[in-house]
Structure 1
Amino acid sequence: MSLLQDEFAQADGLRYLNHAAVAPWPKRATRAVQSFAEENLHLGARDYPDWLIVERRLRERLARLLNSPTTADIALVKNTSEALSFVAFGLDWATGDQVVISDQEFPSNRVVWEALKRFGVEVLQVSLDVPDPEGALLASCGPRTRLMSISAVQYASGLRLDLLRLGHGCRQSGVLFCVDAIQQLGALPFDAQAIDCAFAMADGHKWMLGPEGLGVFYCRSDLREQLKLHEYGWHMLEHPGDYERADWEPARTARRFECGSPNMLGAMALEASLSLLEEVGMAQVALALEERVQWLQDGLARIPGVQLRSPRNPERRAGILNFRLDGWENQALFEHLRAKQVVCAQRGGGIRFSPHFYTQPRVIEETLSLLRQMADA
């Protein structure tokens, strides 16, 4: 606990419950960026080879976090949307092909597939408000279904899907399985091999506790060369340091999706943040997060007028709780909480709380106390 108290030195009175949006950095990430800035100030890029060592460690940490067979399957990308676009505009589509998604997806995992309409691709949005959402998704896969793209955890409701079942079902049907893992990676264990996904992607600025502008793209090795490339540059070549070479080919690894100079500043921060998750261990992270979500859920359920809008079953959630409060418009409730230094979000017709594994008990208790006062007002 002392480690976490030292790592997350947030402002007095701040009640941060917004990791599903943008997370605070741990102290080690801040120090890594400060050190990198000082090095740039005094030495410039004199020690660039040392920077590449940090970048290599980042790839290794990400490979372990996703349980990728190798770092060759890992690309460093700007964000989830970029990775989804690599898939959507890399596959060779035919008129009549179908993509299956849910009706609760964040725009990044909807718009990119709808943009394929000009190629004759049809997008099927499947309702998740059913007793068996996985069954509904798999039942929607027909002979024309080419790919299913689903969020591991829905951004508004917090619904967590059974990725093992979906991956197995897609494999049996010959459907490519694409997972937007942004609301799970760093919050709960993730196993790309076990779920047999073709592609997975996530930003680093949520549960991974990193900066915006750097994310991960996992591409299964047998599919890398099937994705047509639309971005070219020096960094995505098989021999990126041979600047005079006339003949060239894309890198055989997932680096083929990294066309130009890397986000080295972001790499310094994210590598440091992931080192903390590894020290704690993802099993312990998940357990501590579940304890905090359950604490919040139980407290909210005891407040008169609170309507919980997220799954109550622990197997159906990760780090998100969504609710409404009778007598309060969402905007007014959000503004009131914000004024009391409760950092949260408005999503899906309610207020979304998202603690993390390190969230202090006082943050939860003080937030619940504020809501009880509002319910009694």
Structure 2
Amino acid sequence: MIAKSAELFPVKKEGIFLAHCAVSPLPKPAYDAITQVALDQMERGGFGLAAYGHILKDLRKAAAELLSTSPDNMALVKNTSEAMGMIAHGYPFREGDEILSYIHEYPANHYPWRLLEQKGVRLVLLPNRPKALRPTRSLPCGWSMEDVHRLTTPRTRLMAISHVQFTSGYAADLEELGTYCRERGIDLVVDAAQSLGSLVIDPERCHISALGASGWKWLFGPTGTGLFYTSPAFRQKLADVLVGAEAMVQGEDYLNHTWQPHPSARRFEYSTSPTILAAALEASLRFAVLSVGIAKIQQEIFRLQDLLLQGLDARRYTPLVFSAPHRSAILSVLCQRSAEQIMKEAAHRGVFVSARCGYLRLAPHWCTTDEEIDRALAVLNSL
């Protein structure tokens, strides 16, 4: 039995939170970490922060455990955009090379590639396809492997795709996609903002070259944090884009200007990292994700989703349902009324959901109780 206490998640005292695909509430250990580090800095400045020199190492270790990889492959970044930007401008593209992506990607996984058009790199976009088992009113939904096959050319160097589409909740089959890319020498770059912490991801089994994710959604971390995975082979391809003292092996030997970046992903932690935020994200990973186990989290989220699917009033809501390989932690629904208005009215009654691009998104996490689902359904079905 999973303990879903209000002591760990104080947000429960305010209402029912079903918007983990937006900005998740901090668990109590993350708040405690922030306040303790802030207190030490307030009282002792840098001498107080010196006690937390282990935090980045601990965070990389926790992130590596989540992704079944080595800590050397993990780095702390501010957000997904920063990770994608370092890839876009560090990758050895040549004029005429192509990047394959999806037409309705989140901006963090779109604009960095658009900038490369100035260098003669072509961004090829997969068209929108109605991948849900029910109609979606032509709203953003998903993409097809048939189009991937059709649009791949000998000049395709990289595929940049979200594991889970932020609008519809459509999930890529990473194992199928990774195998396809590996066989053709294409680097697979994944935006995992809407999956890391809710779905099982094994980047090495899926032949993922790089993966970036924000920390404040399914990982329960603070805003301004993200995780960045790179495979050793992929790191060797990337030129340095952002550099500073922390990117170099000599670290605090500041007048040693020898050019020797870390061979590990630490080279992407190029300058002073936010100790307070790193401590909070590490605490969230340890106490609210790894303590439960990602396989169990995915299973529990799907069970809670099934309760929502069973209880939603079919006259008011039409949920998007995907086949098993494409299911995610986001349950997007079409509404008879404005999704944005329903979101606002539900919040006034203590049920927190989110609206994006015409969909109402229901996103419980493992900490959501069955009783909270029942209460949320009562509110949503009465609006």
Q: CA deviation at 1:103?
A: 2.2
* Residue identity matched to 1:137: V
CA apart distance, 1:42? 2.6
User: Residue by residue, what CA displacement relative to the aligned partner does 1:180-224 show, whole Å, maximum 9, x if unpaired?
Assistant: 111111001110100011111101100000001111111111121
SS at structure 1 position matched to 2:246: coil
- Aligned partner of 1:200 in structure 2 is 211
Say whether residues 1:281 and 2:311 are aligned partners.
Answer: no
Residue 31 of structure 1 aligns to a residue whose secondary structure is helix
Between the two proteins, the alignment pairs up a number of residues equal to: 370
Partner of 1:348 in structure 2? 357
C-alpha separation in 1, matches of 2:130 and 2:272: 46
AA aligned opposite 1:263: P
Matched residue SS, 2:157: strand
Identify which range, 114-123 or 310-319, moves more after superposition.
310-319
Which residues of 2 match residues 58-137 of structure 1 at below 5 A? 58-68=59-69, 70-129=70-129, 133-137=144-148
Cα-Cα RMSD: 1.8
Label 1:335 to 1:60 Cα distance change in 2 as closer, same or farther (>3 A).
Answer: same
User: Which of 226, 238, 242 matches 1:231?
Assistant: 242
Structure 1 position 244, deviation (Å): 2.6
The question of whether the paired residues in 2 share the 8 Å contact of 1:250 and 1:256 is answered with yes
**1:250 and 2:251 correspond:** no
The match for 1:30 is: 31
Q: Are the counterparts in 1 of residues 162 and 191 from structure 2 also a CA contact under 8 Å?
A: yes
Given the alignment of the two structures, is residue 372 of structure 1 paired with residue 372 of structure 2, yes or no?
no
Are 1:307 and 2:318 counterparts? Answer: yes
Deviation at 1:13, TM superposition (A): 5.0
Task: Report the 3-state secondary structure (helix = DSSP H, G, I; strand = E; otherwise coil) of the residue aligned with 1:346.
Answer: strand
Residue 7 of structure 2: SS of its match in structure 1?
helix
Gaps of 5+ in 1: none
Q: What is aligned with 2:152?
A: 141
Distance of 1:94 and 1:305 partners within structure 2: 51
The answer for the alignment partner of 1:339 in structure 2 is 348
Q: Read off the aligned partner of 2:205 and give its amino acid letter.
A: A
SS at match of 1:193: coil
User: Is it true that 1:54 corresponds to 2:66 in the alignment?
Assistant: no
Residue identity opposite 2:361 in structure 1:
R
Letter paired with 1:191: D
In structure 1, how many angstroms separate the alpha carbons of the residues matched to 2:74 and 2:66? Answer: 11
Using the alignment, how far apart are the partners of 2:333 and 2:4 within structure 1? 32
CA distance in 1: counterparts of 2:110 and 2:255, whole angstroms: 42
User: Partner letter of residue 349 of structure 1?
Assistant: G
Residues 78-110 of structure 1 show CA distances to partners (whole Å, capped at 9, x for unaligned) of: 110000011111112222211111123111111
Contact 2:196 2:213 in 1 (8 A): yes
The one-letter amino acid paired with 1:154 is: Q
Matches within 5 A, 1:7-18: 7-18=8-19
Contact 2:40/2:49 (<8 A) preserved = no
Tell me which amino acid in the other structure corresponds to 1:285: I
Comparing 260-269 with 95-104, greater Cα deviation is found at 95-104
* TM-score using structure 2 length: 0.92
What is the one-letter code of the residue matched to 2:82? E
Q: Deviations over 1:29-57 (max 9, x none)?
A: 11111221222233333254431222211
1:153 paired residue number: 164
Match of 2:139 in 1: none
Matched-pair contact (CA < 8 Å) for 2:75–2:265: yes
TM superposition shift of 1:318? 1.7
Letter in 2 for 1:142: T
Q: Secondary structure at the match of 2:148?
A: helix
306, 318, 323: which one aligns with 2:333: 323
Residues 37 and 49 in structure 2, CA contact (< 8 A), matched pair in contact too: no
2:304 is aligned with 1:292 = yes
Which deviates further from its counterpart, 311-320 or 208-217? 311-320
Q: How big is the shift at 1:3?
A: 5.7
Residues in 2 aligned to 1:207 and 1:76: alpha-carbon distance in whole angstroms: 16
Shift in Å at residue 282 of structure 1? 1.0
Aligned-partner Cα distance in 2 for 1:22–1:246: 40
Q: Which moved more, 1:40-49 or 1:272-281?
A: 40-49
Q: Give the partner amino acid of 1:331.
A: E
Which residue in 1 is equivalent to 2:137? none
More displaced, 38-47 or 57-66? 38-47
- Cα distance between partner residues in 2 of 1:32 and 1:99: 40
Q: In the superposition, relative to structure 1, how do residues 97 and 246 fare at CA in structure 2: closer, same or farther (>3 Å)?
A: closer
Judging changes above 3 Å, is the alpha-carbon distance between structure 1 residues 245 and 312 closer, same or farther for their aligned structure 2 residues? closer
Q: What SS does the aligned partner of 2:300 have?
A: helix
Go from structure 1 to structure 2 and tell me whether the alpha carbon gap of 1:250 and 1:285 turns closer, same or farther (over 3 Å shift). same
**2:268 corresponds to 1:267:** no
| Displacement of 1:6 | 2.3
Overall identity of the aligned pairs, in %: 30
Q: What is the TM-score of this pair, normalised by structure 1?
A: 0.93
1:169 and 2:184 matched? no
Is there any run of 5+ residues in structure 2 with no aligned partner, and where? 132-142
Amino acid at match of 1:248: W
Residue 240 of structure 1 aligns to which amino acid in structure 2? Answer: G
